[in-house]
């Protein structure tokens, strides 16, 4: 099958690869503006077929009654296949979202790690015997939901998709995965590897297409019992409203506007590096980016001066160049949005201390590049401090006392992450406890691990992924009482 721009890449329903009945779409490399090729679009009918394939596969005794250690063995084989094909997977992601190659390679390895982690959880996690309040045995069992819809964004498909699919399968579900229209290829290739690894067909289906069509059809499908979504807060809210209509469960990992706090007694060199990486790594396209910097007033001017110099020294360049530190934004549409938000900050009185424009380097003219940007002269209430940019844009603000700082840091709709730099541990502890966020880092930033729960307070989402009880997100508790 061919589209306007070459052959159309099919997606997976059960064991069948199909280009679908929906509109095919084009994947564009954001570093060059060139086409990566056409991808099949899943229509509502295709989505229904994928859900039915998942439902049938999940109901098979071969899967429902498979012993946990046998399920774990399949997950481990998927991890091996991902690892063996890590270079190719990293390349696929890099071509679609423009992330630095080194980061993509690391994420491929972390993706395999998620399958191994949930394999281990799957075969070691016990059911429970609850304290008895009578003449009976009270047990708590954990059952799969059935069909899980997994919907993912473009910034890190290698890790975000693995942590959803591995946990959902470990829990005994079947999955229909809808990757972002900007990054469809990793999901398609991992699904192929999963089949090679012996995952029974139908347990992992991938439907590619646009959010408003393919994604909406999946969210609205009556046989989808849990929607596990990572993406923007507005989309997450719309999904939660739709799911509420039929009492489908939701797990939502949404946006952030995380405070990054530097006290005057911090190790300044380390804090500087943490703040720089915390906001500009992944070109700022990270839900946990530390985008609101609060620096204690006595340190503020000197710290910001050094930060601006360090941001200007970052090497912006092609994702495949090992010397590059900041790659392009993930799409041209997204760069337009980031540019518009910097213009909005200027309108609101913000001073652009560095960046704020596309780079002048002619080598980068065809890509969706944008310079690391620092904005001063704004209050925490400014739109640029309250709205998620999801790009390389940092706002800097001084603070005087701890109580005021905590109030400002919490004065946001979001609650995903926070960083605190100080040598005074009791103070760090007080602040960590007072901050409304799913993750707080003390004297470090942006450290992630599959072994700890991840998710947000407030409008950053609901539910947790990863960690020992990440698997519970994909299960329902069932009480069984046995009378004596
Ligand atoms: P979006 O919310 O636009 O999209 C996320 C996914 O949802 C995509 O697959 C998208 O498809 C799909 N989608 C869009 N509309 C609908 C709909 N009506 N019904 C069902 N699915 C839909 O987010 P982005 O892709 O732009 O990702 C960036 C956002 O993700 C940021 O806000 C960021 O903070 C958040 N994020 C959160 C993380 C966390 O763990 N908390 C981690 C990473 C990112 P399509 O691509 O076709 O539009």
With tokens 């989505």, the residue in question is: 47
Within the chain, which residues score under 50 in pLDDT? 1-2
User: Could you tell me the pTM of the whole model?
Assistant: 0.97
Question: How far apart (Å, rounded) are the C-alpha atoms in residues 86 and 90?
Answer: 6
Atom of ligand 1 nearest to the CA of 156: 43
Q: What is the pLDDT of residues 51-84, one digit of tens each?
A: 999 999 999 999 999 999 999 999 999 999 999 9
253 catalytic? Reply is: yes
CA distances from 445 to 19, 195, 271, 290, 293 (A): 42, 37, 9, 8, 13
What is the CB neighbour count within 10 angstroms for residue 87? 12
Catalytic residue among 55, 99, 164, 178: 164
Domains of the chain: 2-254+460-483 (3.40.605.10), 259-449 (3.40.309.10)
With the most atoms of ligand 1 within 8 angstroms of its CB, the residue from 25, 150, 153 to mutate is: 153
> Strand, coil or helix: what is 444?
coil
Question: How far apart (Å, rounded) are the C-alpha atoms in residues 352 and 383?
Answer: 15
Q: By the 8 A CB rule, do 412 and 387 touch? A: no
Q: By the 8 A CB rule, do 140 and 128 touch? A: yes
Catalytic residue among 104, 287, 395, 418: 287
Q: By the 8 A CB rule, do 288 and 253 touch? A: no
What is the CB neighbour count within 10 angstroms for residue 484? 7
Atom of ligand 1 nearest to the CA of 183: 46
Query: What is the predicted pLDDT for the residue at 4?
Result: 57
Q: By the 8 A CB rule, do 456 and 256 touch? A: yes
Question: How far apart (Å, rounded) are the C-alpha atoms in residues 164 and 466?
Answer: 8
Q: In what order do the strands lie in the sheet with 258-262?
A: 351-354, 373-376, 393-399, 290-296, 258-262, 417-421, 439-442
Q: State if residue 448 touches ligand 1 by the CB under 6 angstroms criterion.
A: no
Closest CA to 29 of 322, 366, 307: 366
**Residues with Cβ within 8 Å of residue 459, at least 6 apart in sequence:** 233, 237, 254, 255, 413, 414, 415
Q: Is 265 left (phi over 0), alpha (psi -120 to 50) or beta?
A: alpha
Closest CA to 75 of 205, 177, 193, 233: 193
Q: By the 8 A CB rule, do 73 and 67 touch? A: no
Atom of ligand 1 nearest to the CA of 239: 19
**Parallel/antiparallel/unpaired status of strands 475-483 and 136-144:** antiparallel
Q: Is 356 left (phi over 0), alpha (psi -120 to 50) or beta?
A: left
305 catalytic? Reply is: no
> Strand, coil or helix: what is 81?
helix
Distance, CA of 89 to chain centre: 17
Query: What is the predicted pLDDT for the residue at 188?
Result: 98
Q: DSSP for 268-316, please give it.
A: HHHHHHHHHHHHHGGGG--TT-EEEEEEEHHHHHHHHHHHHHHHHHS-B
273 catalytic? Reply is: no
Six-digit token string for 49: 């077929």
Question: How far apart (Å, rounded) are the C-alpha atoms in residues 387 and 413?
Answer: 9
Q: Please list, residue by residue across 3-39, b when 16 or more beta carbons sit within 10 angstroms of its beta carbon and e when fewer do.
A: beeeebbbbbbbeeebbbebebbebbbbbbeeebbbb
Q: What is the CA radius of gyration of the chain?
A: 23
164 catalytic? Reply is: yes
Query: What is the predicted pLDDT for the residue at 5?
Result: 64
**Residues with Cβ within 8 Å of residue 329, at least 6 apart in sequence:** 30, 98, 283, 285, 335, 338, 368, 369, 370, 391
H helical segments located in 348-461: 383-386, 402-410, 425-434
Closest CA to 344 of 354, 353, 356, 333: 356
Q: State if residue 238 touches ligand 1 by the CB under 6 angstroms criterion.
A: yes
Q: State if residue 178 touches ligand 1 by the CB under 6 angstroms criterion.
A: yes
**Residues with Cβ within 8 Å of residue 336, at least 6 apart in sequence:** none
């Amino acid at each position: 099958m061919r589209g306007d721009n070459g052959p159309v890449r099919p997606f997976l329903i059960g064991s069948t690869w199909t280009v679908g009945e929906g509109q095919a779409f084009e994947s564009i490399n954001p570093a060059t503006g060139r086409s990566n090729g056409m991808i099949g679009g899943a229509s509502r009918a295709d989505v229904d077929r994928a859900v039915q394939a998942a439902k049938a596969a999940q109901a098979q005794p071969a899967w429902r009654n498979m012993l946990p250690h046998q399920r774990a063995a399949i997950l481990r084989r998927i991890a091996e296949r991902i690892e063996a094909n890590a270079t190719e997977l990293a390349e696929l992601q890099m071509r679609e979202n423009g992330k630095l190659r080194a980061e993509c390679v690391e994420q491929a390895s972390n993706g395999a790690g998620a399958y191994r982690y949930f394999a281990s959880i799957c075969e070691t996690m016990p059911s429970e015997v609850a304290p008895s309040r009578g003449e009976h045995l009270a047990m708590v069992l954990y059952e799969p939901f059935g069909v899980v819809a997994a919907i993912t964004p473009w910034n890190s498909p290698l890790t975000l998709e693995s942590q959803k699919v591995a946990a959902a399968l470990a829990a005994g579900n079947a999955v229909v995965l809808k990757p972002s229209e900007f990054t469809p290829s990793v999901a398609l290739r991992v699904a192929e590897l999963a089949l090679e690894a012996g995952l029974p067909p139908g347990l992992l289906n991938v439907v590619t297409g646009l959010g408003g069509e393919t994604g909406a059809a999946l969210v609205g499908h009556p046989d989808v019992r849990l929607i596990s979504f990572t993406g923007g807060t507005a989309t997450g809210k719309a999904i939660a409203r739709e799911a509420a209509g039929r009492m489908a469960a939701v797990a939502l990992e949404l946006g952030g506007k995380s405070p990054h706090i530097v006290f005057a007694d911090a190790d300044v060199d380390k804090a500087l590096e943490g703040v720089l990486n915390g906001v500009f790594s992944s070109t700022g396209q990270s839900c946990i980016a530390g985008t609101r910097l609060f620096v204690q007033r006595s340190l503020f001017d000197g710290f910001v001066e050094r930060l601006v110099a360090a941001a200007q020294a970052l090497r912006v360049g092609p994702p495949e160049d090992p010397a590059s530190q900041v790659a392009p934004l993930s799409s041209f549409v997204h760069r337009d949005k980031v540019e518009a938000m910097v213009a909005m900050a200027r309108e609101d009185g913000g001073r652009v201390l560095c960046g704020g424009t596309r780079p002048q380097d002619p080598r980068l003219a065809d890509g969706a590049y944008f310079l690391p940007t620092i904005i001063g002269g704004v209050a925490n209430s400014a739109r640029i401090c309250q709205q998620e940019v999801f790009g390389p844009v940092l706002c800097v603000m001084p603070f005087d006392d701890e109580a005021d700082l905590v109030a400002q840091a919490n004065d946001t709709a979001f609650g995903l992450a926070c960083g605190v730099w100080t040598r005074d541990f009791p103070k760090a502890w007080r602040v960590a406890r007072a901050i409304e966020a799913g993750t707080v880092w003390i004297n470090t930033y942006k450290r992630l691990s599959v072994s700890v729960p991840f998710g947000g307070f407030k409008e950053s989402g609901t539910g947790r992924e990863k960690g020992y009880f990440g698997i519970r997100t994909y299960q329902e508790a069932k009480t069984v009482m046995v009378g004596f």
